[in-house]
Every structure is written in C-alpha cells, then in structure tokens.
Amino acid sequence: MLRDKNKIKQAAKKRRQRRTRAKIFGTAKLPRLNITKSLNHLYLQLIDDQKGKTLVSLHTKNLKIKGAKVDVAKSAGQKLAEQALSRKIDKCVFDKASYLYHGRVKAAAEGARQAGLKF
C-alpha cells in the first residue's frame, strides 16, 4: 500500500514538471533558470536547451553562508545572477519545475531579480 502511494506521488510530481516544461524553453540569449531542491540544499542552473548545455550553475553547498534555508536561497539567487551578468546574460525564463512558488524557490527568484536578472 505504501509503495503505491509513493508511486502516485512521484507520478503527480512528474506530471506537474512536464506541464511546466512544456511551456518553457531556454536558448543561448534567453536561458532557462532551473531550480532543484533537496532536503537541505538548492541547485540553480541557467540552461541552453537548444545545445543542451548548462551556462551557469550554483549549488548552496559551495556557498559558505550559514542561516535559515530561505536566507541561503536568496543569497544563492543573488550569486547566480552575478555570475550570469558577468557572462552577459541579463534575461532568463524561470523554471520552478514541480515546486510551488513559495519558500526557498520564491526567495531564490527574488534574490536573482534583486541582483539584476530579469524574468
């Protein structure tokens, strides 16, 4: 019974992710800002889907910032935007995958916007 419940949850998550990705496509000039969450960390990537390459990536493990997860996510978004702007990327398409626009996802997006990335 439990195994079936987990399969149903995973299938629902995949459906939400596919629904989001069907509307979003990244190019070299307008890359896709992808967010992936784990229990403790956040992964941020700017992806060119035409070539299948990651242009800029950041992981909160590599940041030496301590504090609440939301605060770390906001600073991670700012750091990613700084890296993107140094590579002359100022616009992107936001891909929240299957996550709600709330908490760490929202904080990372707002941090990137504050640092100058437009989406």
Per-residue model confidence (pLDDT) at position 78: 97
Per-residue model confidence (pLDDT) at position 35: 96
Per-residue model confidence (pLDDT) at position 21: 86
Per-residue model confidence (pLDDT) at position 2: 63
Domain boundaries, the chain: 2-114
Residue 45 tokens read as 């990537």
How far is it, in rounded angstroms, from Cα 79 to Cα 85?
10
Architecture in CATH for domain 2-114: 2-Layer Sandwich (3.30)
Give me the average pLDDT of each 10-residue run along the chain (119 residues): 82 92 88 95 95 95 92 96 96 93 96 96
How far is it, in rounded angstroms, from Cα 119 to Cα 117?
7
| This prediction's pTM | 0.87
